[in-house]
C-alpha cells in the first residue's frame, strides 16, 4: 500500500522545522561567543545594540569640557588694580588712612514698623547700612583684596578690589540690584544722630564688566543740632569672581562723574591685571 502524499509532506515539514531550529540554536551560541549578530536579528536591533554598547562603555564617551576657572587674583595684582588720582575727575588727592573712615550717620537701626511688607525688607536695608559702614558691600572677600581712598574737600572716595566666592558674589550683585525697589525709602533710628530719612535710587554706570550696579543713597538728619544730608554714590562691578566697589560722597554731595571715572578706569585696570599685564600708572607702593 502506498503512503498518502499528505503524510509525506507533513514529515518533510517537520524535518525542515527541526533543521531550522538546530541552525538557529547554533547561530545563537555563535552570537553569544563572538558578539556577531544572528540571522534572526533585524537591522534596528543591531543598531540598538551598538548604541547601548557605546553608552555603557566608559571609553566610548568623552567627558564634557568644563569651563576653565578664571585667573586667581593675587595680593600684588589687587594692589596693581587699584585706581590712582590720575584715574579720577576733579582735584582728588590720595588719603593716608581710608580704612579708618566711618560715618556716624550710618550708625543705627532700620525702623521695621515703617515697612508695609515687614521685617524681611527691613533686614535688607539694615544689611545695606551695615555694609557701607563696615566696608563689606559685597560681603567678606575670600581671597586677595586691596583698598585705597581719595579726598576732595569734604568728599571722600573709597575704592576696593577683591576676590570673592563667585556664587556669593553673584548673590550680592542680585541683592544690590533689588535695593532701589526694596529700600527706596526708610527710617534709621538710634545712634548719636537721632532719626534719619534714607532714600535709595538706582545710578547708571558705564557699560563695563560682567555685571554692574550703581546706587545713590541720601541720609537726611541732624548733626550738632543742624539739618544735614549725607549723599553717597555706591557702585560695584563684577568680573568673574573678582569685583571692584566704589563709595563716593559726603556732606557736600557726590560727584557722579568721579564715580563713573572710578568705575570705568578701575574696571580696565582689573582687566589688565587678570590678563597678566601691569596697568599704568602703578599705584604708589606697588612695584
d(C-alpha 2, C-alpha 117), whole Å: 106
The pLDDT, as a whole number, for residue 100 is 82
Residue 225 DSSP code: T
Q: Which three cell numbers stand for residue 148?
A: 585705597
Q: Is residue 284 one of the residues assigned to a domain?
A: no
Domain tally, the chain = 2
Q: How many residues appear in the chain?
A: 287
What mean pLDDT is predicted for residues 210-221?
A: 97
Q: Which of 273, 170, 160 lies closest to 213 in space, CA to CA?
A: 170
Q: Is the pLDDT of residue 230 over 60?
A: yes
Q: Which residue has the higher pLDDT, 225 or 275?
A: 275
Q: Within this chain, do residues 151 and 86 fall inside the same structural domain, yes or no?
A: yes
Asked, for residue 63, whether it belongs to a domain, the answer is no
In a domain, 70, yes or no: no
232 lies in which domain range?
Answer: 75-274
Angle at the Cα of 242 (from 241 to 248), degrees rounded to 5?
A: 140
| Secondary structure E strands in 31-154 | 93-94, 109-110, 145-152
In whole angstroms, what is the distance from residue 267 CA to residue 210 CA? Answer: 10
Residue 279 lies in a domain: no
**Residue 49 sits in the same domain as residue 120:** no
CA 17/CA 20 separation, integer angstroms? 5
What's the pTM?
0.73
Residue 29 lies in a domain: yes
* pLDDT for residue 104: 85
User: H or E element: which one contains 185?
Assistant: strand 185-189
Residues 81 and 48 in one domain: no
**pLDDT score at 180:** 97
39-43, 80-84, 184-188, 266-270: lowest mean pLDDT where? Answer: 39-43
Based on the fold, state whether residues 96 and 32 are members of the same structural domain: no
| Host H or E run for residue 239 | strand 226-239
Does one domain contain both 37 and 148? Answer: no
Same domain membership, residue 171 and residue 36:
no
Q: Are 126 and 134 spatial neighbours (Cβ–Cβ below 8 Å)?
A: no
Establish if 285 belongs to a structural domain: no
Whether 122 and 184 map to the same domain: the answer is yes
Residue 286 lies in a domain: no
- Residue owning grid cell 588694580: 81
Q: Is 195 helix (H, G, I), strand (E, B) or coil?
A: coil
Does residue 234 share a domain with residue 95?
A: yes
d(CA 243, CA 185): 27
Instruction: Give residue 249's pLDDT.
Output: 96
Q: Is residue 227 part of a domain?
A: yes
Q: Residue holding cell 596693581?
A: 80
Specify whether 43 is located in the same domain as 170: no
pLDDT band at 46 (very low <50, low <70, confident <90, very high): very low
The model's pLDDT over 66-105, given as tens digits with 9 standing for 90+, comes to: 333 557 999 999 999 999 999 997 899 999 888 888 888 8
Same domain, yes or no, for 97 and 46? no
Q: What is the CATH number of the domain that holds 93?
A: 3.40.1000
189 and 92 together in one domain: yes
Is the domain of 82 the same as that of 49?
Answer: no
Amino acid at each position: 500500500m502506498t503512503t498518502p502524499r499528505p503524510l509525506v509532506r507533513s514529515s518533510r515539514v517537520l524535518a525542515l522545522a527541526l533543521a531550522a531550529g538546530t541552525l538557529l540554536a547554533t547561530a545563537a551560541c555563535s552570537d553569544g561567543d563572538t558578539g556577531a549578530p544572528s540571522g534572526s536579528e533585524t537591522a534596528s536591533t543591531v543598531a540598538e545594540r551598538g548604541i547601548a554598547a557605546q553608552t555603557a562603555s566608559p571609553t566610548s564617551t568623552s567627558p564634557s569640557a568644563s569651563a576653565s576657572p578664571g585667573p586667581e587674583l593675587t595680593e600684588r595684582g589687587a594692589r596693581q588694580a587699584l585706581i590712582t588720582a590720575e584715574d579720577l575727575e576733579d582735584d582728588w588727592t590720595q588719603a593716608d588712612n581710608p580704612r579708618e573712615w566711618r560715618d556716624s550717620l550710618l550708625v543705627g537701626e532700620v525702623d521695621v514698623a515703617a515697612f508695609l511688607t515687614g521685617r524681611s525688607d527691613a533686614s535688607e536695608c539694615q544689611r545695606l547700612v551695615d555694609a557701607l559702614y563696615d566696608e563689606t558691600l559685597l560681603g567678606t572677600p575670600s581671597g586677595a583684596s586691596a583698598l585705597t581712598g581719595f579726598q576732595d574737600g569734604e568728599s571722600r572716595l573709597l575704592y576696593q578690589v577683591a576676590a570673592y566666592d563667585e556664587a556669593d558674589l553673584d548673590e550680592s550683585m542680585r541683592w544690590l540690584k533689588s535695593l532701589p525697589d526694596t529700600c527706596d525709602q526708610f527710617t534709621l533710628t538710634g545712634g548719636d544722630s537721632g532719626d534719619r530719612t534714607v532714600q535709595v535710587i538706582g545710578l547708571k554706570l558705564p557699560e563695563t564688566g560682567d555685571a554692574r550696579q550703581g546706587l545713590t543713597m541720601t541720609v537726611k538728619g541732624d548733626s550738632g543740632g543742624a539739618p544735614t544730608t549725607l549723599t553717597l554714590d555706591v557702585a560695584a562691578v563684577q568680573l568673574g569672581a573678582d569685583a571692584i566697589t566704589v563709595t563716593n560722597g559726603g556732606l557736600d554731595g557726590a560727584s557722579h562723574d568721579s564715580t563713573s571715572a572710578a568705575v570705568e578706569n578701575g574696571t580696565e585696570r582689573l582687566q589688565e591685571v587678570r590678563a597678566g599685564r601691569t596697568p599704568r600708572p602703578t599705584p604708589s607702593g606697588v612695584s
